[in-house]
């Protein structure tokens, strides 16, 4: 971390970022300055950021629910929107002692770790298919000292789901972008793993499969809560309905967009 922020360096970095079309050039220049050990490293970071590499990868970490989550190429960057899913699960599990929680497609582990940080007596497991992403989840678990279980596995395989029963809650931020979204990604997002973004032609593939395959891993009265894209509320709610969930609700994020669908297993 640089001891002193040189105004001239700050201006130089901001100018590089602005020239690359980075919107919040001053703010990002400041973050880069704060984070990098010296001026040369800061310049190199700004050069790459000006080409729209994600700032989060360049800094190597990002904050999620008050936790420092390490990220890099190969893992989805935690989004503030996803805190809506964490809040929803925390709220619905308030009355449950030592809940057993499963986070499907855990990625960096941000959701599982946030839940564990707020509910120390919860038994939290994250499943992830990508070995690269799993390395970040493991690093985050040990850096934060939070005792969650991490299991490598493909949540779309019936055998993976069949190994779990009696869960109080399943949370998931699965890939949910449509084929059309995938064809028009913001430049930064193209650096992120497609396997964490691509939800099939209509974006709903993981909702259909997870709901069907994992329903019976929940105990009666157990909660299923998904993050959704802002146009997917009605469709995702319908998938839960078709699978016999009740008390289905669609919740909005702080921007007012539909962001979470949840329901209770009968
Ligand atoms: N929220 C991400 C985006 O819009 C998508 C994450 C996901 O597919 N789960 O880029």
Question: Tens-of-pLDDT digits for all 266 residues of the chain?
Answer: 665 678 999 999 999 999 999 999 999 999 999 999 999 999 999 999 999 999 999 999 999 999 999 999 999 999 999 999 999 999 999 999 999 999 999 999 999 999 999 999 999 999 999 999 999 999 999 999 999 999 999 999 999 999 999 999 999 999 999 999 999 999 999 999 999 999 999 999 999 999 999 999 999 999 999 999 999 999 999 999 999 999 999 999 999 999 999 999 99
Strand order in the sheet with 245-252: 149-152, 123-128, 100-104, 167-172, 218-227, 258-265, 245-252
Token pair listed for 171? 């949370």
81 Cα to the center of ligand 1, angstroms: 9
What is residue 6's predicted lDDT score, i.e. its pLDDT?
87
Candidate of 62, 206, 229, 253 to mutate for ligand 1, largest count of ligand atoms within 8 Å of Cβ: 229
- Do residues 106 and 112 lie in contact, with contact meaning Cβ atoms separated by under 8 Å? yes
Locate the domains of the chain by residue range. 7-70, 80-265
Cite the beta strand spans of the chain per DSSP E.
61-64, 67-70, 100-104, 123-128, 149-152, 167-172, 218-227, 245-252, 258-265
Atom of ligand 1 nearest to the CA of 173: 9
CA 110 to centroid of ligand 1, rounded, Å: 14
pLDDT at 37: 92
Residue with tokens 């729209």: 52
The CATH number of the structural domain formed by 80-265 is 3.40.50.150
Asked if residues 76 and 227 have their Cβ atoms less than 8 Å apart, the reply is no
| For ligand 1, atom 7: residue with the closest CA | 175
């Amino acid at each position: 971390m640089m001891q002193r922020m040189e105004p001239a360096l700050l201006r130089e970095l901001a100018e590089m970022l602005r020239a690359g079309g980075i919107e919040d050039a001053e703010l990002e220049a400041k973050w880069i300055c704060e984070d990098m050990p010296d001026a040369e490293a800061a310049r190199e970071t700004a050069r790459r950021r000006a080409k729209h590499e994600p700032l989060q990868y360049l800094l190597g970490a990002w904050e999620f629910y008050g936790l420092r989550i390490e990220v890099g190429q190969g893992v989805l960057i935690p989004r503030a929107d996803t805190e809506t899913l964490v809040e929803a699960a925390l709220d619905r599990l308030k009355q449950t002692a030592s809940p057993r929680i499963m986070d499907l497609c855990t990625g960096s582990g941000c959701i599982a770790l946030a839940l564990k940080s707020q509910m120390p007596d919860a038994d939290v497991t994250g499943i992830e298919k990508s070995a690269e992403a799993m390395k970040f989840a493991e690093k985050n678990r040990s850096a934060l000292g939070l005792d969650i279980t991490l299991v490598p596995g493909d949540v779309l395989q019936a055998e993976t789901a069949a190994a779990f029963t009696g869960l109080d809650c399943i949370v998931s931020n699965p890939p949910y972008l449509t084929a059309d979204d995938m064809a028009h990604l913001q430049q930064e997002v193209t650096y992120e793993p497609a396997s964490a973004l691509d939800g099939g032609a209509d974006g709903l593939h993981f909702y259909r499969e997870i709901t069907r395959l994992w329903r019976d891993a929940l105990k009666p009265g157990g909660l299923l809560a998904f993050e959704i894209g802002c146009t997917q509320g009605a469709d995702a709610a319908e998938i839960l309905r078709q699978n016999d969930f009740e008390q289905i609700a669609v919740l909005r994020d702080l921007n007012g967009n539909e962001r979470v669908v949840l329901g209770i297993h009968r």
